[in-house]
Structures are given as C-alpha cells and as structure tokens.
Amino acid sequence: MLLKATDIRKTYNLAASSFDVLKGIDLQIDNGEFVSIVGPSGAGKSTLLHILGCLDKPSAGVVIVDNEDIYKLTDIQRAKIRNNKIGFVFQFYHLLGEFTALENVMLPLIVKENRQVNNKLKEKGRELLALVGLEKRIEHKPNQLSGGEQQRVAIARALINGPQLILCDEPTGNLDSESGKNVIDLLFQLNQKNNQAVVVVTHDDDIAKISPKVIYMRDGKLI
C-alpha cells in the first residue's frame, strides 16, 4: 500500500453557511497502480487530489502516504513528503516563461536541495526530456512549444525528484484530442516502465475506458 485515505471530508465555511465538498471518501492506491478518478465538474475530484498530495488539509479524515499519517505531521515534514515522494501534473502547465524546457525540468531539484546547476543535474534533466520525447526541444522556451509539448515538459518536471506517486489533475483538459491521447499514453508508459503509481483526475470517459482501475465521484462521494 502506497496511499490510503479514510473518511476524508472537506467543508468550506462561508459567511452565512457551509459547503461540503467531500463527504467521507475512502480509497487506497497501491505501488505501481494506474488509477483514474472520474466525475463531472464540481464532484470534488481536484479537492480530493490536493488533499492526497499534501496541498490542502481535509476537514476530517486520515491520509497515510508510505506509512506516514501526513496530516499529523508538521507543515515542514509534510512538505518534505510532497517534495520527495509525489510529483504533480496540472491542467495548466505552470512553466516559467523565461526558462527553457531544461531549466523548467531542473527547477524543483534546484529549489528542494538549494543546488547550483551542474553537469550532473543537466544530464538528469536531459534524460527526462528524452524520456518524454523532447530531446530536441531542451533549449526551447514555453512559448516555442505546443500545448502537448508543454505538458510533456511538466511531466518531466514531475519526475525529477523520482516520486513514488504522480498525481495528475485534468492533464489533458487544455489539449486537443490527439495531444491528450499522447499525454495519457506517456503516463501509461511511465507507470509500466518505472512502476510509479499514477492517479489521473478527469471528466473524460475515454480515459476511464482504458484505465486499469477507475474510481467514480459525484457530489463529493464515491459512487
């Protein structure tokens, strides 16, 4: 077991009322699994993903990542787990426009370890860009890349720390159908080659059809 969530709840308190986004979610992700979490907009999928990935605290419930109860840890301890064990891929690529593809990929490791850019780090970045099929685009900046290529850079960036778990929030939502298919194919390849668990949040039923494990959500609950 890599990740286990038990009775996850999330409530947002508004001025005169409260809104329950998650209503008691239980799930387990094992090492090397490929899982799609599928549901309509507003189902609570992204909120759940953020909680699983140490980005947002639940109102109640327990999340175990690699045998650690992550919401009993300090913020610093939780950030260490997030940086070391989890990679994120978002719908919007969040690449820095003034940086090249290679520099964007290296950035998490530079920040995490306060490292200077050296040949070893550059080589690791180049290897990851080659892995995602962008070995000829390493010096290109985001505005010189297509949407699909930018998402591949984002995937390479998510891999730089060697995570056990890759969390993807609508990774094809900003892409045309062909580019989206290529991104999903790439995630499958990484899952099978590296035995990294991949969780994809999506409203795309086509992704669900090809996923080995599918979790359906609606109105903050699993169905």
Mean pLDDT within 97-113: 87
Rounded distance between C-alpha atoms, residue 8 and residue 17, angstroms? 20
Summary mean pLDDT of the chain = 91
For the cut 80, the answer to whether the pLDDT of residue 133 exceeds it is yes
Fold of 33-54+85-222: Rossmann fold (3.40.50)
Residue 38: the pLDDT is 94
Whether pTM exceeds 0.85: yes
Contact partners, residue 194, CB within 8 Å, separation at least 6: none
Provide the pLDDT for residue 93: 82
Distance from C-alpha of 174 to C-alpha of 176, rounded to nearest angstrom: 7
The fraction of the chain above a pLDDT of 90, given in percent, is 61
Is the pLDDT score of 140 beyond 70? yes
Is the pLDDT at 83 greater than 70? The verdict is yes
191/182 Cα distance (integer angstroms):
14
Q: Which letter, b or e, does each residue of 73-84 get, where b requires 16 or more Cβ atoms within 10 Å of its Cβ?
A: eeeeebeebbbe
**Which structure tokens are listed for 117?**
């850019």
Give me the pLDDT at residue 116, please: 65
Tens of pLDDT along 36-77?
999 998 999 999 999 999 999 999 999 999 999 999 999 999
Judged against a pLDDT cut of 90, whether residue 114 lies above it is answered with: no
pLDDT of residue 108: 85
Contact criterion met (CB below 8 Å) for 105 and 129: yes
pLDDT 10s digits, 202-219: 988 888 888 999 999 999
